[in-house]
Amino acid sequence: MTLEILISDTLTPLRHGFFTRRGGASSGVFQGLNCGNGSSDQTDVVSINRARVAQALDVPPAALVSANQVHSADVLTVEDIVDGTAGTLGRGDALVTASPGVALSVLTADCMPVLLADHDAGVIGAVHAGWRGALAGVLEATLDAMEDLGAARDDIAAVIGPCISQRAYEVGPEFLETFLAEEAGYDRFFTAGPGDRYLFDLPGFGLKRLRDAGVGHAEWTRHCTHSQPDLFYSYRRAMQMGQADYGRLISAIRL
């Protein structure tokens, strides 16, 4: 099956993609393009999937770099690929580079994948932003790191890819309190759900943080991972179905 890749006019002509689950070699609950080395999928099959992504981005597999994601606000700056290897990438949830030929990637399964670019400066970024990372400031930290490489904040375009939408993101009152403790105005991202539950607008929150931080342009592709099982993996959907594990989507960008 051919890879199905979502692209953004905003990031074009840079080679990039929010990859769906279509076109991969995995089977079972991972059916499709599971790129998560941390999943219980077969390691060799995940490697095949990642190689297909690298080929689509026109880079060798070793140039498709990622981090050990931990829901933090930590950003890694990636230098040139040396001797065909990506080097050791540590813990963090965002990557930035100004090096051509390096493909930055993040893995998600309901969290926000965010791809960023300053076309004029030749600086790109990729972010894994769940609610913890977004609240902790991973998006703002990524913009800071891009500026350190020569980007201009008001020239940076940011695109949020497929993630869980508000209609599917049910949370408890303690979740709401965590946000209100940071800023009372964050109540705008919650609507009433069943009983004492609320529905949280993750992409809306991400867009606000990006725009408040001064990016030149921010948008969401408006794809919900939870509601489209044929296209996307979803952690929450997998847990609701009693599955033991779930696939990870990959989003990537290169200069």
- Kindly report the number of other CB atoms within 10 A of residue 154's CB atom: 10
Nearest to 147 by CA among 113, 115, 123: 123
The residues near 224 (Cβ < 8 Å, ≥ 6 apart) are 162, 163, 164, 165, 167, 168, 232
pLDDT of residue 81: 57
Domains of the chain: 5-165+201-254 (3.60.140.10)
Q: Using CA atoms, how far apart are residues 103 and 164, in angstroms rounded to an integer?
A: 24
What value does the mean pLDDT take over residues 34-62? 95
pLDDT of residue 85: 47
Q: Using CA atoms, how far apart are residues 199 and 181, in angstroms rounded to an integer?
A: 18
Residue 212, pLDDT > 60, answer yes
**Mean pLDDT estimate for the chain:** 95
Residue 238, pLDDT > 50, answer yes
Residue 1, pLDDT > 80, answer no
What value does the mean pLDDT take over residues 121-145? 98
pLDDT tens-digit series, residues 75-102: 999 986 554 444 447 899 999 999 999 9
pLDDT of residue 90: 84
What value does the mean pLDDT take over residues 157-180? 98
For the chain, the residue count is 255
Is the CA virtual torsion 185, 186, 192, 198 positive or negative? negative
pLDDT band, very low/low/confident/very high, at 48 (cuts 50, 70, 90): very high
What value does the mean pLDDT take over residues 135-144? 98
What value does the mean pLDDT take over residues 21-49? 96
